[in-house]
Amino acid sequence: PYYVDINQDLFLEAYLHSSDSNLVLFVDTCVASPTPHNFTTVTYDIIRNGCVRDSTYATYYSPYNHMVRFKFNAFQFIHYSPSVYLQCELVVCRSYDYSSRCYQGCITRSKREASS
């Protein structure tokens, strides 16, 4: 566990350990939950499908393609739990493969039209 105060900035860094220097790391989704075993029912999206959902989220410069750095403000689930659990999904891609998920950025899914 990592203990922080409410509204304190929480800084995270993810690093891909690989001998292949031609890899890129991309933060696709980060979801917070009041329980460590359920990231689907009661959740809070910090970033989803590459789209930032939390206004306090920010990325930071990384000297390496295979490292990502970001931050957001710590919070608590009101009336649920003083603890918040974080689950992030990262994508690994080949450098300069502009058709890969890492270079697509935010993906918004279009809504389907209801048929008559």
Question: Encoding tokens for residue 90?
Answer: 């990262």
Strands (E), 1-116: 9-15, 23-33, 44-48, 51-52, 58-60, 67-73, 85-94
pLDDT mean by block of 10 residues, the chain; 116 residues: 83 93 94 86 90 94 92 75 87 94 86 55
Q: Which fold has domain 9-95?
A: Immunoglobulin-like (2.60.40)
- Cα–Cα distances (Å) from 83 to 16, 18, 107, 110, in that order, read 27, 33, 30, 34
For tokens 């992030």, name the residue.
88
pLDDT (tens digit per residue) in 11-27: 999 999 999 989 999 99
Nearest residue to 69 (alpha-carbon basis) of 25, 29, 9, 14? 14
Q: What is the pLDDT of residue 22?
A: 92
Q: What is the pLDDT of residue 95?
A: 92
Q: What is the pLDDT of residue 77?
A: 64
Phi, psi of 101 (to 5 degrees): -60, -35
